[in-house]
Chains A and B, each alone.
Chain A
Amino acid sequence: MGNFDKKLERFWEVFIEHGGYVKVLTGLQNTVWIAVAGLAIGILIGTLIAVVRVMPKTNRLTKSLEGLCVFYVGLFRGTPIVVQLLVAYYVALPLMGINIPALQVCVIVFGLNSAAYVSEIMRSGILSVDPGQMEAGRALGLNYRVTMMKIVIPQAVKNIVPTLGNEFISLIKETSVVSFVGAADLYVAFNYIGSNNYEFMVPYLVMALIYIVLVAVAALIVRQLERSLRKSDRRH
């Protein structure tokens, strides 16, 4: 293993002395930022889509909105995220004459992509809430929107926290493709360290470890959240 020690030494050299750790920290920050902000956007838009899809279809407006949502979900679930990133960064935004940094493009694309998945998760969550809850709210004279916001969605969210946690973990891992449009994530950082002396073994190993730790931390947070939300299930 003498060879490996040497590789480790070289890695350490670049990591500390050539400022590799700064890149890694930036990459880590960007990775987490894209995943967290992407999920936030995803939850926001996804919930809206889910509500539109479970709404009673009484008139043309709600029907066409539903059609739009189905199209949206089909579009974002039907193409790989890399393709979406490339199309957004090199096709859609330039055509619209908009010039924004790659990192923000990533946040938006990951948000829009995640919205498609979250909408399906949220929809199943809403459908899992006893219809009697909506009936009780309506029978008290609360309108559809208020009953949805105050009664149904909070219960739906509680039911889907574990699944949303899964989505968050997928997002963290999927961010590893953002270098396709030039955003600096963990891959970019470790690739930089590796190409410094053409030793890729240790950098990529460390990168894998960081992803594992990141996902483990995310899973822990989700579990804590789940536990605190379960409080209303038993408390005297």
Chain B
Amino acid sequence: MIDVINLRKAYGSTEVLKGITTTIRQGEKIAIIGPSGSGKSTFLRCLNRMEEPTSGSILFEGRDITDRKADIDEHRRQMGMVFQHFNLFNNKTVLENIMLAPVYLGLRDLRRLKRRNRLVRLRNLFHGEKLPLHPIETSKARIREEARENALRLLKRIGLEDKANAYPSTLSGGQKQRIAIVRALAMNPKVMLFDEPTSALDPEMVGEVLDLIRQLADEGMTMVIVTHEMGFAREVATRVLFMDGGNILEDDTPERIFTNPRHPRTREFLSKVL
């Protein structure tokens, strides 16, 4: 599904990623662990080009997304991202946060379709043989209504439907992060990227967020998680990448990484955090 080939990223003269090559298959749940500054967040952020790779390529379903001509916004719609600091839109209510992107894209697609139909009609005026119009089965109101229903369904799923009209500033960290997750889900992404989703949370709220991520994993969502929650990585991940100094030092099943790490650096790191 995602092929990363010799990915490098440098800020000035400091190289943060020193040639990452790996493949992420459909349905895999990959946990990336490693000390801070090892490049794990940078690697994750390169996957949807929140960071611009210096060299190398990333193929998503066969298409190279590092290509300058690639439609990066289209790519990002298929890849949900959850941030350490939630990043809910502060000027929007919870419901608006979830609806914003789907409604915007729905309306944009509708506009494009209508524009194309106008061109077809114009062309039909001058040609004997008529081209059919593109069928339009939706309307502005319907797009909004559907996005709203979907948003409410997602909120219900996480038990926060009563917060639909609240602003983010009134919510707890755990609530914010769960809403950030369903906001990403509202776009029906094929992959979810989690960038230390529980690192900014109070300890008592970590559980509720991990539970939601675990549910998604059980439903078969492909996901890449940068995390410091070793227990969670071990339980949920199908594969664990250990990164240090801009390289993947070890890439194995959670059992083997956590019980019998081969690389001395992995052993050293795990002995400190476990």
Contact = CB atoms under 8 A, between A and B. Distances in A.
B87 A233 contact: no
B101 A151 contact: no
Nearest to A137: B89
Interface residues of B, number: 29
B81 interface: yes
Nearest to A232: B167
A137 B101 CA distance: 8
A136 B73 contact: no
Contact of A141 (B76, B85, B89): B76
B104 interface: yes
Contact of A132 (B73, B87, B91): B87
B85 A132 contact: yes
B101 A142 contact: yes
Nearest to B193: A139
22 contacts: A130-B85, A130-B90, A133-B87, A133-B89, A135-B83, A135-B87, A136-B83, A136-B88, A136-B89, A136-B180, A138-B50, A138-B76, A139-B81, A140-B101, A140-B183, A141-B74, A141-B77, A142-B104, A143-B73, A151-B89, A151-B92, A232-B169
Given A133-B90, A151-B91, A233-B167, A140 B83 contact: no
Contacts of B92: 151, 232
A158 interface: yes
B17 interface: no
B100 A141 contact: no
A234 interface: yes
B139 to A, nearest CB: 21
A60 interface: no
Given A136-B89, A140-B76, A235 B167 contact: yes
Tier of interface size on chain A: 20 to 34
A116 B80 CA distance: 39
A136 B87 contact: yes
Interface string A146-157: 100011001100
A158 B170 CA distance: 18
A120 to B, nearest CB: 22
A210 B46 CA distance: 60
Interface in B184-219: 184, 187
B119 interface: no
B48 interface: yes
A6 interface: no
Contacts of A155: 90-91
Contact of B187 (A138, A141, A143, A154): A141
Interface of B: 48, 50, 73-77, 80-81, 83, 85, 87-92, 100-101, 104-105, 166-167, 169-170, 180, 183-184, 187
Contacts of B101: 137, 140-142
B166 A236 contact: yes
A95 B169 CA distance: 55
A69 to B, nearest CB: 25
Contact of A232 (B90, B100, B180, B187): B90
B89 A235 contact: no
A211 B44 CA distance: 58
Contacts of A132: 83, 85, 87
Contacts of A133: 87, 89-90
A135 B50 contact: yes
A155 B91 CA distance: 6
Contacts of B187: 140-141
B136 to A, nearest CB: 22
The 6 closest A-B pairs by CB, nearest first: A141-B77, A136-B87, A132-B87, A139-B81, A140-B101, A141-B76
B50 A140 contact: no
Interface in A16-45: none
Contacts of A140: 76-77, 100-101, 183-184, 187
Contacts of A232: 90-92, 167, 169
A89 B169 CA distance: 50
A151 B104 CA distance: 13
A139 B76 contact: yes
Interface in A103-145: 130, 132-133, 135-143
Contacts of B166: 235-236
B42 to A, nearest CB: 14
B246 to A, nearest CB: 22
A146 B77 CA distance: 15
B144 to A, nearest CB: 15
